[in-house]
């Protein structure tokens, strides 16, 4: 072999070796750059998963009035956690799985957007219902207040009507009588008392048969004529009467007379004569017996 040929072959071999070394170094550099790019993408993907997990945590803290939606959110949140854990242990060189995890992230985000829309819709509905409920409560309170006011006005009006319908005794006169039913001023001769009275006109009062009751008490508060056994209802109890008389009331003025026996020993001092009709006191008159 000629010397020039050998040199040529050696030069070509050196060039080939240099080319192989160059391409090998270039391939290593490309692989390193690709690995660094995959590591960067994995890191970004992991951050996105972590942000998504934080968003799910925030939605789980909300008071969602829908159990089904709450369960779906919990499932998706767990899914994000599982994918995040898988991503953390996936090698940066596993480009296929990282790409799949990236697609999974996009799917979960799309699902979350739907859930967020449902949550917003529920919140708006709840706000509207809360507003309507407050309005209904306010209307109910106003209606209750009005009903209470009307009840009080009705009660007051009923009381006014009842007072207006109450009869009234006028022209009261008491006359002491002796045993011959003649007027006397001598205390020792008095045996009974005559009570003349007039019931005033009242067109508001319901006409019909009525009973007037008279209670006469002496200066010591003792009831005269209690032995007759007359009684009537008054307020929440029953009172005894000294005398009573039934009459027909037409709404016009009418007069009457009642008699009450005195005890054998007449007490001097101030007496009281109280008239009652329909469970109401319609007149009270003090009078004095003295020498």
What CATH number did the domain enclosing 176 receive?
A: 2.60.40.10
- Domain, as residue range, for 273: 169-289
179 and 276 within one domain? yes
173 and 120 within one domain? no
User: DSSP readout, 147-216?
Assistant: HHHHHHHHHHHHHHHHHHH---EEEEEEEEE-TTS-B---GGG--EEEEEEEEPP-SSSPPEEEEEEEEE
| Residue 141: inside a domain | no
120 and 35 within one domain? yes
Q: What angle do CA 40, 46, 52 make, to 5 degrees?
A: 140
The residue among 50, 18, 31 whose CA lies nearest residue 93 is 31
| Residue 217: inside a domain | yes
Q: What gap in Å lies between CA 6 and CA 10, rounded to an integer?
A: 6
| Residue 25: inside a domain | yes
202 and 113 within one domain? no
188 and 109 within one domain? no
| Residue 249: inside a domain | yes
Query: Torsions phi, psi of 54, nearest 5?
Result: -65, -40
- What pLDDT does 223 receive? 96
Question: How many domains are contained in the chain?
Answer: 2
Q: What gap in Å lies between CA 66 and CA 289, rounded to an integer?
A: 88
Q: What angle do CA 87, 90, 95 make, to 5 degrees?
A: 100
122 and 32 within one domain? yes
Per-residue pLDDT tens, the chain, 291 aa: give them: 556 676 777 767 767 676 666 566 566 655 565 566 666 666 776 777 677 777 767 666 665 666 676 676 677 767 767 776 776 767 766 777 777 777 777 777 777 777 667 776 776 777 777 788 888 788 888 877 877 886 676 666 555 445 556 899 999 999 999 999 999 999 999 999 999 999 999 888 889 999 999 999 999 999 999 888 899 999 889 999 999 999 999 999 999 999 999 998 999 999 999 999 999 999 999 999 987
Boundary-marking domain end, from 74, 104, 126: 126
75 and 173 within one domain? no
Q: Sign of the C-alpha dihedral, residues 138, 144, 148, 154?
A: positive
256 and 186 within one domain? yes
Boundary-marking domain end, from 126, 142, 158: 126
Boundary-marking domain end, from 75, 101, 126: 126
Q: What gap in Å lies between CA 136 and CA 144, rounded to an integer?
A: 12
Q: What gap in Å lies between CA 187 and CA 264, rounded to an integer?
A: 10
Q: What gap in Å lies between CA 14 and CA 121, rounded to an integer?
A: 75
- What pLDDT does 67 receive? 66
| Residue 137: inside a domain | no
- What pLDDT does 163 receive? 59
218 and 120 within one domain? no
With 0-12 / 13-18 / 19 or more C-beta atoms within 10 angstroms meaning exposed / middle / buried, residue 32 is exposed
Evaluate if pTM is beyond 0.75. no
174 and 106 within one domain? no
| Residue 181: inside a domain | yes
The residue among 99, 82, 81, 87 whose CA lies nearest residue 43 is 87
Cβ neighbours around 112 below 10 Å, total: 19
Q: What gap in Å lies between CA 116 and CA 110, rounded to an integer?
A: 10
- What pLDDT does 160 receive? 47
121 and 7 within one domain? yes
Q: What angle do CA 224, 227, 233 make, to 5 degrees?
A: 80
The residue among 186, 220, 179, 193 whose CA lies nearest residue 290 is 186
Per-residue pLDDT of 204-228, as tens digits, reads: 888 999 999 999 999 999 999 988 8
| Residue 45: inside a domain | yes
- What pLDDT does 273 receive? 96
118 and 177 within one domain? no
| Residue 53: inside a domain | yes
Share of the chain above pLDDT 70, in %: 71
Per-residue pLDDT of 237-256, as tens digits, reads: 999 999 999 999 999 999 99
């Amino acid at each position: 072999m000629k010397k020039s040929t050998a040199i040529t072959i050696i030069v070509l071999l050196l060039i080939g070796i240099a080319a192989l070394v160059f391409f090998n170094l270039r391939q290593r550099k490309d692989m390193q750059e690709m690995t660094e790019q995959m590591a960067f993408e994995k890191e970004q993907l992991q951050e996105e998963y972590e942000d998504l997990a934080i968003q799910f945590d925030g939605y789980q803290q909300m008071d969602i009035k829908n159990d089904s939606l709450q369960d779906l959110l919990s499932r998706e949140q767990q899914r994000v956690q599982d994918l995040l854990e898988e991503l953390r242990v996936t090698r940066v060189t596993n480009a296929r799985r990282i790409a799949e995890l990236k697609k999974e992230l996009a799917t979960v985000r799309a699902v979350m957007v739907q859930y967020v829309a449902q949550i917003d819709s529920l919140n708006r509905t709840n706000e509207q219902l809360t507003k309507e409920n407050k309005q209904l409560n306010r209307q109910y309170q106003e209606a209750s207040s009005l009903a209470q006011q009307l009840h009080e006005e009705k009660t007051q009006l009923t009381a006014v009507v009842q007072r207006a319908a109450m009869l009234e005794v006028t022209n009261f006169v008491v006359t002491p009588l002796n045993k011959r039913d003649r007027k006397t001023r001598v205390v020792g001769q008095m045996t009974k008392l005559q009570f003349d009275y007039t019931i005033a006109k009242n067109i508001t009062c319901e006409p019909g048969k009525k009973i007037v009751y008279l209670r006469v008490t002496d200066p010591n508060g003792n009831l005269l004529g209690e032995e007759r056994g007359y009684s009537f209802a008054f307020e929440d109890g029953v009172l005894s009467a000294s005398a009573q008389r039934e009459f027909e009331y037409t709404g016009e003025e009418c007069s009457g007379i009642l008699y009450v026996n005195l005890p054998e020993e007449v007490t001097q001092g101030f007496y009281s004569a109280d008239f009652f009709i329909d469970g109401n006191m319609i007149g009270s008159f003090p009078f004095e017996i003295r020498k």
